[in-house]
Structure formats: C-alpha cells, structure tokens
Structure 1
Amino acid sequence: MILWTFYVTILLTLFAGYMSKKLVKDSKDFLIGGGRLGTVGVTSMLMGAIIGGASTVGTSQMAFERGLGAIWFTLGLSISSIVLYFFYGKLTEKKEFMTVTGVIGKFFGDRAKTAACTVLCLGMFIHINGQVLASVSIFSSVLDFDIHISALIVCALIGGYVIFGGFWGGTIVGGIKTVLLYSTSIVCGMYLLFEYDFIPLAAMSFSPDPWFNPFSNGFLKDLSLPISTVLGVTCTQIYFQSVMSARDKHVLKRSCLLTAFMIPPIGLVCTMIGMYMRTVSPDIAARDAFVLFVTNNTHPVVAGLSIAAVLISSVATGAGLALGITTICSRDVISPMFPSRSDSQSIRSMRIMIAIIISAIYFIVVSNDNSMILSWGFLSMIFRATPVFVPVLVALYFPDSISRRHESIYVIIGPILSIAWILLGLDNISSIYVGILGSLSYAFLRAKTKKSKSAQTNTCM
C-alpha cells in the first residue's frame, strides 16, 4: 500500500509537470509565468521552491543529531519570505528585471554582473546537490535502491518537472506539493503528540542542553544559520523570479505572508520526528529518520503520501534552482551574445542547459552520498548571499553611493573573505558574517570616497 500510494502520487505529479508545457507560449511564460500570477500561483511557486529536502529530511536529520537547533533552517526560510517582499516588492510593478544579476549589471556594470552570475550559479548548483541527496535517501530507505539508480531517477524527475513547462511546471508541481506536504505534516504531528506522547517522552529522554537549547553550538554560530538562510533566499534567482511572477505588489504581499505562515509548522514536525526517532531507534542513519518514522509509525496511505510529498519537495526545489541557473545563463550571458535569437530558440537552449546541469549533478551526488544534507544548504547560502546581497541592497536603496571604479570588487570581496575564513579554520565566527561585513565595509568606503571626491570637485568649481 505504501509503495502504490507513493508511485501513483509521483506519476500524477510528473504528468502535471509535463502538461504544464501547454501554458508556455513564449520565453516570458517559461521564465516567470508571464508575470501575471495571482496569490495562489505565487504562493505555490514560493512554497515549491523554498521547502525542499533540506527543510524536511535534512531538518529531521539535524534534529536526530542535535535536537531543537534543527528548527533554525525552516525558521530562516519563514523570515525569508517576508524579506523578499520588502526587498523586491517595488520592482514587481514594472517587471524591468528578469534576473537578480540583471539588477547588479544595470547599476554596477557588466564585469560585476559577470562575477555575480558565476558565483551565484555556483551557490545554486551546490544547493541542488543537497536536494538530490535528500531524495536519494528516500529511495535507499524505502526501496533499497543503489545510489546510482536512485540518483538517476531523482535527476530524471527534476528534469520532468521543469524542462517542459519551465516556471509554469514549477508552479503547478509546487501547488500539489504544498497541499501534500502540509496535510501529511499535520497528520504526522498528530501521531507524534497523541499516539506516541512525544512531549513527555522527549522530556524524559533528553537533557535540556544540548537537545532543547537552540544555541547549543554557540549563540553567534547558531544565529548565523537563519541569517545565512534569509540572505541566501533573498539573493537566489528562482525566488526573485517568483517575486517577478506576481501580478502586482498586493498579490506579492499576500503570497509572502501566507508562505511565511505555512513554513514553521512543517519544520517543527520534522524536528519532532528526528528527536522521536533518536529515542526509539538511536542506531539508524540520521538521514533516514523521517522516512523510517512515516513507514513504521503511520498508516500506509499516510506513509506513501508523506514520502511522495518529501520527494516532490526535494525535486521541485532542485528543479527551481536549475531553472534559476538557466535563467541567469540565458538572459545575462547567452542573450547578449546572440541578440537575434527567437523565443523558440531561447526556450530550446534553456531546456538543453537544464539537462546539462542535471547530468552534472548526478555525477557529483553519486560521489558524495554520505555527506550531511543541510551542510550543502548552508554552504550554498554563502555563495548565494555574499556576492549579491550588499550590491543589490546598495543598487535598490543607495544608488547614488555607487562607484563604477573596480565595480566587480563589490561582488567578489564577500565570497573571497568567506572562503578564506573557512580555509583558515576560524569557525568560532561564521564565515557568512565575515563575508557580508566585508562587503558592507567595502561599499561604505567606496561611497565615502565618492562623496569626498564630489565635495572636492564642487569646491574647485
């Protein structure tokens, strides 16, 4: 019964992703759903892209290892949804930009845009690996598939969800995924609270520190997790596309608030699952905690739907990230080189790029199948946040302070400082702080220098 429910749900969702190609009439439809989506559509895409395997399987894995501290990732995602509105809301009406790197290109120049494209795409590419690893753990736990077969199926599903319909495929699959994930999370939470008495069991089984201490790894280090998540989401292309897909600013506001409200319960249930499995099956692999809980402790139909929902979550997020990389490469790299491309040629080239990205992901995943799922997510946040957040912040809110001299340094200084910090092993302070503060300091110094030169020029005149 579990497998039948699982297979049917996956096939129906895959069919929905395939049929979404009928909604694609031009490249704008493929990239942002025509920029005319309502609240349901934008919320579906945001939930589809934001809640993935790192938020579900990865959260349960971390909760199995360290307890309540695992909630930070989904809490950061919830806050991110609100930040997206305040950060980009004013861009929704004009639809002037299709990519977040396009914002950097307009205000800082082509060299800065090229640097941002490179580092941001690397960050999104890294994050896809975490989503595929989360999906692979489902196949290995439930079906006992070999890593090569599991990764191949997952990568094929990612392609099926987004190659045909692009943004529309992500929106439709995201809507299905949201209904499945939210309903099964509620049911699993009820099982834990009323069937297995989770609260008294956890109180008896775990010591307050570290299991109930959200800052068990240190205040600054743990706080860096939601901060890096917020910054990473704000700077990731697929979430920018989701913002640009909204019909107007009011639609975006409702969608962001609704998404922020819906995320925390999912993270809380996944955290409870990880901690519960630690008490009853401490010898299992941590990444299998979620799947083993639903298969062994819930009704077969609930188990099948839950596993399918988590798999779709990982696949949909991975598909959205792949679409984001493709959008940046197509709009900011290929289009300037071939300005006379037709819409059909543009869509065809984007589909080919998605296939190439997914193929590369497959070979990386089969070589790193034992790595921590959330580690990929947090690492990717560094490469997504540090090169983009400060330049976009300055471009949107302090454009007069921008100096066009050495403009690419605005983009690369943050990642360079973060990587150097990691290589030096100075993990007492998170590298995300170092990268962002370094980028902010450089922007401030450039603004101050520009202001001083302007003052000198005015004095001479």
Structure 2
Amino acid sequence: MFIVSALGILAAFFVFGIFSSGKITSSSEYSLASRKVSAGGVSGIILGSLVGGSSTVGTVQMAYHYGLSAWWFTLGGGIGCLIMGLWFVKPLRATELITLPQFLGGHFGQKSAVLSAVATALGSFIALIAQFLAGTALLGSVFPFPVWVSAIFMGLLILVFAYGGGLKSFSRLGAVKIVFLYGVMILCVGAAFLSGQTPLVLFRELPKDPFFNIFARGVARDLGAFTSLLCGVLCGQIYIQAVYAASDNATARKGCLMTSMITPPLGLLGVWIGLALRNSGVAVEASQALPFFIQTYFHPLVAGLLWSGIMITVLGTSVGITFGVATNLTRDMYLKTKRAAGYDDAKILFASRMTVLGTVIVAGLIALGAGKSMILQWAYLGMGIKGAGIIVPLVAAVFLPGRLPAGWSFLSGVCGLAGVFLGAAFLKGMDPLLPGLALSAMVALAGFLRRKKEPGLRR
C-alpha cells in the first residue's frame, strides 16, 4: 500500500510538470522559460531549488542531533530572498542576460566572469551532492536496494524531469510542490502534537543545550552557516535565473518577497519533527529520521503520499541546482571556446542537455563516496563557496558600480575562494566562509582605496 501510494503520486507530479510545459523548442525557453514567468513562477523556481533535501531531510537530521540550530538553513535562505527582492532585482535585470557571470563580466571583465562561473558552478555542484545524499536516504528507507542502485535511480529521476520541460516545467513543479510540502510537514507536526510531543513538552523534557541553543554547534559555525545561505542565495545561478526569467522587475521582486515569507517556517516544522523523534527515545540513523517518522506515525497509504511529497521536494531541488550548474558550464565556459563558436540554437540546447547529464553522473558518483555525511554540511559548504568567490564583487557592482577596478575584483574573488579552502583545512569549529569573506573584503577595500588615490585606474 505504501509503495503504490508513493509511486502513484510521483507519477502524477511527473506527468503534470512535463505535459503542462509543452514542447521545448529553443535554448531560451529551456533556460529562461522565454522570460514570461509570473511572480508565482519566480517563487516556484527559487523554492524548487532552495527548499529540498537540505530543508527537509537535512533539517530533521540535524535537529535530531542539535535541535534548534538546524533552523539556520531555511532562516538564512528566507532572508537572502528578502535582500534579493528589495535591492538586487533592478540592477540585475538592467540588461537582458542569462547568468550571473555575464553580469559580473560586464562590470569587471572576462577574468572575473570566468572566476564567478567557476565559483557558482562548483558551489552549486556541491549542493547537488547534498540532494543526492537526501534522495538516496529516502529511497533506502523504502526500497531494499544497495546504495549504488538508489543513486542510479535518483539520477534517472532527475534526468527525466530535467529533459522533460526545462525551466518552464521546473517552475510549475516548484509552485505546486511547496503547497504539497507544507501539507506534509504540517501533518507530521500534527502527528507529533497528538502523540504528546508538544513544544512545551519538548522544551521541558529535552536538555536546553544543545536542543534549544540556536548556536549549539558554536557561534562561529552557526553564524557562518547563516551567512553562507545569505551569500549563496544572492550568488546562486538558479536564483538569478529566476529573476531573469520574470516578465518584469515588479514580478521578479514580488516572487522573491513571496519566497522570503514562505521559507523560514518550513525549517521550524522540521526542527519540531526532529526534536519529537529525539524525545520519543527512538534511536535511528539520523539521515533516516524524517522517513522513519512518516512510516511510524501514519497509515501506509497516507505515509506513501507524505513520503512522495518529500521525495518530490528533493527531486525538484536537484533539478533546479542541476539547471544552474549546467547553465554556468554551458553559457559561461563551453560556449566561450573556439569549438563552440558559431553554434546555432539547436546545438546550444543539445550542449545544455549533455551538460545536465554529465553533472548528474558526477554528482551521483561523489555522493556514493560521501557515505553517511551530514546533509546540511554539504549544503552549507556549497553555499559558502559561491558566496566567498562572488558576493563582494557582486555587492560592488550593484551598489558601487565603476569604483572597484577589474583586477582587484578578480583578486578579491580568488582570495575569497582561497580563504574558504584554507578555512576548511585549518580552522576547525568555524564555517570556512567567514575567513573567505574576510580575505575577499580586505582585498576589495584595498582596491577601492587604490582607485580613490589613482582616479585614472582602469575599471
């Protein structure tokens, strides 16, 4: 009964998403839905990528270990969308572009464009690994497959939807799945409440530290995680793609603001579920906490429906991240080479789809080697890499155009990425984004000062 229910809902969502989008005939339609997306569609694209395995399976997993500290992911994502809507939409849409590196390249030159493409593609790719970990954990909770079989199945599901309708179908899936997901999470916390796991009971019976300490993993690490989400949203290709895909500035802004209100409450629901399972005394593999809760507290038919809602969430986010990575690799790297010179639209569309295939295969292989890693750790690292290499030059381009010299912008991005990797290697107990941001900001400040002393310095 569980399997029939779960597979039936999954099939319905795939049919809805693919057939409602119609046939994709151009690379613009595939990547930007022909720039005709509504506010709900913008929100759907962002939510489809942001709210996934990390926000659900990963949040419950971390809440089971640390409690309230698991909220930082959705809280940071929501505030990042708020900042995007209020201050970044208009300057980003001032020119009709497709990628963030194209925007930065227009301000700082080709070197900065290539660097930002590498940073955002690498960061998004690492976030895709987190989704693979969540998806294989969900599949493993139901089907007695080896992990490698679950990873292959996960990859095939991503490819079916990615090839089916491009960004247009992804936009529709994101808008519908968030309603479904809210229903799933509310039903889960309702079950926890009815079983006696109320917020008052949890607060009274569980140790305040770590479970009700927002900085349970350490102030530096948790603030770094929050900052990673802020920077990652502002620098993420799929979120920028959503802004560019909107029909006009007001629509893009409204979509971002809608998302900022929807995202944070989902994290709190996930925290409640994780704490309820912890307080019940159940010992379970943390990555299996959410699917275990669903299978334990609900009738198989209902449990299958709820499980499929979480799985759709993970798949939707995986598809969104894959689009972002493939767009960067295709538009900002491959199409800049001599081999791709003169490509017509059909060849660009084919290259985009082949890049999607390669991205999914490599991410799946790395996820297999990652074992039972904490899902949110991969998500935070991916967001941090994007932010460290891009956020300081991006802020300069948006708020101080023409004041940061091109060479200093490139150096700022390089130092930001170097700081992340050095921080990850040598600074334990601190999110590696923080040293990366510090180095990037110091270099940019030096560039501003240099420009002020030498007004004729080249942009």
- Could you say which TM-score interval applies, normalised by the shorter chain? over 0.9
Q: Which residue of the partner structure matches residue 439 of structure 1?
A: 440
Q: How does 1:218-229 map to 2 (within 5 A)?
A: 218-229=218-229
Inter-partner Cα distance in structure 1 for 2:93 and 2:218: 42
Code of the residue aligned with 1:193 in structure 2: it is: F
Aligned partners of 1:368 and 1:422: how far apart in 2? 16
Conserved? CA contact 2:14–2:161, under 8 Å: yes
Supply the AA of the counterpart residue of 1:139. L
In the TM superposition, what are the counterparts of 1:165-314 in structure 2 within 5 Å? 165-314=165-314
**1:388-430 CA-partner distances (Å, limit 9, x unpaired):** 1111111122122121335521221101012112212x23443
Aligned residue number for residue 362 of structure 2: 360
Structure 1 residues 406 and 272, CA, compared in 2 at 3 Å: closer, same or farther? closer
Paired residues for 1:298-337 under 5 Å: 298-337=298-337
The farther-off stretch of 306-315 and 448-457 is 448-457
Aligned residues: percent identity? 26
Note the C-alpha offset of 1:347. 0.8
Cα distance in 2 for residues equivalent to 1:413 and 1:103: 20
- On the 8 A contact 1:410/1:442 being kept in 2, the answer is yes
Aligned Cα RMSD in Å?
Answer: 1.9
In the superposition, relative to structure 1, how do residues 349 and 440 fare at CA in structure 2: closer, same or farther (>3 Å)? same
The gaps in structure 2 that reach 5 residues or longer are none
Instruction: After TM superposition, give the deviation of residue 203 of structure 1 in Å.
Output: 3.0
Q: CA deviation at 1:455?
A: 8.0
The 3-state SS of whatever aligns with 2:164 is coil
CA contact (8 A) 1:95 1:244 kept: no
AA partner of residue 246 (structure 1): A
Question: Which residue is 1:408 aligned to?
Answer: 410
Cα separation, 1, equivalents of 2:299 and 2:243: 38
2:102–2:113 contact (8 Å) kept in structure 1: yes
- Residue 63 of structure 1 aligns to a residue whose secondary structure is helix
Segment drifting more, 448-457 vs 183-192:
448-457
Match of 1:453 in 2: 454
Please give the alpha-carbon distance, in whole angstroms, between the structure 2 residues aligned to 1:164 and 1:184: 26
- In structure 1, the partner of 2:125 is 125
Match of 1:106 in 2: 106
Q: Is the 1:68–1:271 contact (alpha carbons within 8 Å) kept by the matching residues of 2?
A: yes
8 Å CA contact 2:277, 2:293 repeated in 1: yes
> How far is 1:298 from its partner?
2.2
| Cα distance, 1:228 vs structure 2 | 1.0
- Residue 381 of structure 2 aligns with an amino acid whose one-letter code is L
The question of whether the paired residues in 2 share the 8 Å contact of 1:2 and 1:301 is answered with yes
Quick one: distance in 1 between partners of 2:407 and 2:56? 44
Alpha-carbon distance between aligned partners in 1 of 2:217 and 2:354, rounded to the nearest angstrom: 43
Aligned residue number for residue 146 of structure 1: 146
Alpha-carbon offset, residue 294 of structure 1: 0.8
Q: Which moved more, 1:214-223 or 1:96-105?
A: 214-223
Code of the aligned partner of 1:116: S
TM-score computed with the length of structure 1 as normaliser: 0.94
Q: Compare 271-280 and 232-241 and name the one that shifted more.
A: 271-280
SS in 2 for 1:214: coil
Give the 3-state SS of the residue equivalent to 1:380 in structure 2.
helix
User: Residues 442 and 20 of structure 1: is their aligned pair in 2 closer, same or farther, counting only changes over 3 Å?
Assistant: farther
- Residues 92 and 438 (structure 1), Cα distance of their counterparts in 2 relative to 1, 3 Å cut: closer
**Structure 2: how far apart are the matches of 1:9 and 1:130?**
24
Residues 91, 244 of structure 1: 8 Å contact kept: no
Q: Which residue of 1 aligns with 2:67?
A: 67
Instruction: Give CA deviations for 1:282-319 in whole Å, capped at 9, x if unaligned.
Output: 42101111001111102434322221111111111111
Residues 23 and 168, structure 1, Cα contact 8 Å, conserved in 2: no
Count residues in correspondence: 456
SS in 2 for 1:444: helix
CA contact (8 A) 2:58 2:287 kept: yes
The code of the aligned residue for 1:431 comes to: P
Query: Aligned partner of 2:288: which letter?
Result: D
Q: TM-score, normalised by structure 2?
A: 0.94
> 1:353, CA displacement in angstroms?
0.9
Contact 2:235 2:391 in 1 (8 A): yes
Residue of structure 2 equivalent to 1:156: 156
Q: Distance in 1 between matches of 2:200 and 2:456?
A: 67
In structure 1, give the amino acid aligned to 2:50: I
In structure 2, the CA distance between the partners of 1:110 and 1:243, relative to structure 1 (3 Å rule), is same
Alpha-carbon distance, 1:240 to partner: 0.4
What residue in structure 2 maps to residue 340 of structure 1?
342
In structure 2, the CA distance between the partners of 1:256 and 1:384, relative to structure 1 (3 Å rule), is same
After superposition, give the CA deviation of every residue in 1:5-60 in whole Å (9 maximum; x if it has no partner): 11011112222343356252321111111111112211211211110101000000
* Residue identity matched to 1:402: L
CA contact (8 A) 1:141 1:288 kept: yes
Q: CA separation in 2, counterparts of 1:29 and 1:315?
A: 21
Q: Deviations over 1:259-296 (max 9, x none)?
A: 12222222111111111111224421011110011111
How far, CA to CA, are the matches of 2:257 and 2:194 in structure 1?
Answer: 30
Q: 1:255 to 1:406 in 2, by over 3 A?
A: closer
